Amino acid sequence: MAEYDYDLFTIGAGSGGVRASRVAAAHGARVAVAEEYRVGGTCVIRGCVPKKMLVYGAHFAEDLVDAERFGWDIAGKTFDWKRLRDIVQDDVTRLNGIYTQTLDNHGVTIINERAEITGPHELTLASGKVVTAKYILIATGARPQLPDFPGSEHGITSNEAFHLDAIPERVMIAGGGYIANEFAGIFHEFGAKVCVVNRGDQLLRGYDEALRDRLLQISLMKGIDFRFNAKFEKIEKLESGKLRVHLTGHDPCEVDLVMYAIGRVPNVEGLGLDKAGVEQGAKGEILVDRFSKTNVDHIYAVGDVTDRVQLTPVAIREGQAFADTVFGGGDPVAVDHSCIPSAVFSHPPIASVGMTEREARDKLGSIKVYQSDFRSMKNVVAGRNERGLYKMVVDAANDRVVGIHMIGQDAPEILQGFAVAVRAGLTKADFDATVAIHPTMAEEMVLLK
Ligand code: NDP
């Protein structure tokens, strides 16, 4: 008889938990994963994936306008939100099925219940059943942070945005980060009047200033409104169903929807972390070492619940590294959290890897910055006054490219390849020696002077 029911019990079947469970099972471990909602987690069910589909849908608003300049007459174009919403949700269900199937194919037991750690190697399921496991992996992710002020309960988060009955006429979005800028673009393109309310005076903290300024400028030009240094005081729900929002330093305004996008908090409640003696940080996040191990030897954590880098591909790598380390039989594998490329699927999108100009100046002292500020061929023909901006930051001491930052059509698609070059430590001379693909936007990166 085995000492434990399972070799690994994973709590949470999101990106990190699914990868870890599947790979551990492939290494021969007996694995169970508990998921209280749907297999797939934030990314697949209510995050990256359905969001990207909405971004595609939203962009047609501009493409259909531009089409006329390319010779196409498209009469009577209308937008049916419910059609898109339901097709997106159908695809979410399809992907949920694929993730479930993957776990099944690897012999992972899926338990559709909450699980709580109730003893050193013991977990109690919501049904009361008790199971034991040699290792426990916490991969419960994070959820939107909710503000607390009078009437704050009248607002929604991105979780609910995917299921709206209609696109509201006027939308106010709290926050100036990833989700705020992505959904500002989505709602705006679908015809809503959007106002982004930020507590500070900067959007997308952490991204290069030139890109943030450019996104703000383009967003304003498109008609998205911004309020900076503004705090929510209260929201009143009117008889008409509209919301009257009171912000510090501004007149009250009426909107149809308020959405909060003010960061995400780790899902750590009800997991039995106290009893298990697992150390947590100031936001509740689970503290782990470079191998995703907590202070308790057999308990590990990966993904957003550890609040290292809240990105799906990072959670997946952490899950993979955990499974290889604990069950792979080889050397321990740590995830390198440096030089992670990222993107914001705003309209237009932003993509970035490595150091911003400011970071590089602070860290390296002597740097060179190359920039291309251009209007794409497509925007020229379309008569669209929207300029892309590509920026390269180079260490003057050794010519190494230490950062690339882009805003413009397809920037995330273009940057992924360049991220390999930056990670590999290539120099500006290497970029210069590469022949351009003409005519493209990407060629700007090898033609920087
Ligand atoms: P972000 O951390 O990107 O942005 C949070 C924003 O809310 C900031 O502007 C911040 O201001 C503001 N804020 C924070 N706390 C408060 C508060 N108490 N009251 C008012 N404003 C506040 O969070 P998001 O919610 O947009 O996204 C969460 C995470 O999910 C991201 O950090 C990212 O890791 C991930 N994500 C990634 C995506 C992608 O890869 N494309 C897409 C969507 C999400 P300040 O700058 O002053 O702190």
Residue 14 belongs to domain with CATH number: 3.50.50.60
14, 120: one domain: yes
Active-site entry in 106, 246, 337, 438: 438
CATH code: domain of residue 362 = 3.30.390.30
Question: Pick from 389, 409, 401: which is nearest to 430 by CA?
Answer: 401
Atom of ligand 1 nearest to the CA of 144: 25
| 179 touches ligand 1 (CB under 6 Å) | yes
If one residue of 179, 231, 316, 346 were mutated to test the ligand 1 pocket, choosing by the most ligand atoms within 8 A of its CB, it would be: 179
Query: Is 95 close to ligand 1, i.e. is its CB under 6 Å away?
Result: no
Residue from 56, 145, 178 whose mutation best tests the ligand 1 pocket (most atoms within 8 A of CB): 178
Binding site membership of 22 for ligand 1 (Cβ less than 6 Å): no
Question: Ligand 1: does its nearest atom lie under 6 Å from the Cβ of 200?
Answer: yes
Same-domain status, 137 and 282: yes
Q: Which helix (H) or strand (E) holds 57?
A: helix 48-67
pTM above 0.95, yes or no: yes
Torsion of CA 88, 94, 97, 101, to 10 degrees: -140
Does any domain span residue 136?
Answer: yes
**pLDDT one-digit tens code per residue, 280-299:** 999 999 999 999 999 999 99
Q: Is the domain of 241 the same as that of 283?
A: no
The Å distance, Cα 261 to ligand 1 centre, comes to 6
Q: Which of 245, 262, 279 is the last residue of a domain?
A: 262
Contact 171, 44 (CB under 8 A): no
- Examine residue 376 and state whether it is found in any structural domain, yes or no: yes
Does residue 335 sit within a domain? no
Two tokens, residue 242: 């509209």
Q: Are residues 81 and 202 in the same domain?
A: no
pLDDT value at position 196? 98
- C-alpha to C-alpha distance for 431 and 448, rounded to whole angstroms: 9
Q: Whose CA is nearest to atom 45 of ligand 1?
A: 200
Q: State which of 278, 293, 327 marks the end of a domain.
A: 327
Q: Which atom of ligand 1 is nearest to the CA of 344?
A: 41
Q: Is 263 in the pocket of ligand 1 (CB under 6 A)?
A: yes
Number of domains forming the structure of the chain: 3
Substitution candidate for ligand 1 out of 159, 205, 245, 262 with most atoms within 8 A of CB? 262
Whether 334 is in a domain gets the answer: no
To test the pocket of ligand 1, the residue of 52, 199, 342 to mutate (highest count of ligand atoms within 8 Å of its CB) is: 199
Show the domain range for 411: 348-446
**Is the CB–ligand 1 distance for residue 262 below 6 Å?**
yes
Looking at the domain assignment, is residue 201 inside a domain? yes
Query: Where does a domain end: 262, 286, 313?
Result: 262
Which residues, 6+ apart, have CB-to-CB distance to 75 below 8 Å? none
- Identify whether 313 is part of a domain: yes
Closest CA to 202 of 224, 180, 185, 187: 180
Whether residue 224 is found in the same domain as residue 137: no
Whether residues 353 and 288 share a domain: the answer is no
Query: Residue 184 and residue 161: Cα distance in Å, rounded?
Result: 12
pLDDT for 1: 65
Q: What local confidence, expressed as pLDDT, does residue 257 receive?
A: 98
Q: How far is CA 92 from the centre of its chain?
A: 16
Atom of ligand 1 nearest to the CA of 145: 25
Q: How far is CA 134 from the centre of its chain?
A: 32
In a domain, 215, yes or no: yes
State the burial class of residue 184 (Cβ atoms within 10 Å of its Cβ: 0-12, 13-18, 19+): buried
Look at residue 404 and tell me if it is in a domain.
yes
Decide: 261 in ligand 1 pocket, CB within 6 A: yes
Respond yes or no on whether the N-terminal peptide bond of residue 313 is cis (omega within 30° of 0).
no
Q: CB–CB of 99/93 below 8 Å?
A: no
Same-domain status, 54 and 137: yes
Write out residues in the chain with pLDDT < 70, as ranges. Answer: 1
Does 298 qualify as catalytic in the annotation?
no
What atom of ligand 1 comes closest to residue 202's alpha carbon? 46
Residue 159 and residue 136 share a domain: no
Considering the domain architecture, whether residues 269 and 136 belong to the same structural domain is answered as yes
Q: How far apart are CA 329 and CA 332, in angstroms?
A: 9
Report CA(109)–ligand 1 centroid distance (Å): 34
Could you count the other beta carbons within 10 Å of the beta carbon of residue 342?
Answer: 18
Please tell me whether residues 135 and 34 are part of one structural domain: yes
Atom index in ligand 1 nearest the CA of residue 261 equals 25
C-alpha 263 to ligand 1 mean position (Å): 4
Cβ(196) – ligand 1 distance below 6 Å: no
Ligand 1 centroid distance, CA of 177 (Å): 4
- Mark whether 34 and 138 lie in a shared domain: yes
CA 196 – ligand 1 centroid, Å: 13
Pair 63, 84 in one domain? yes
Q: Specify the 3-state DSSP secondary structure of 302.
A: coil
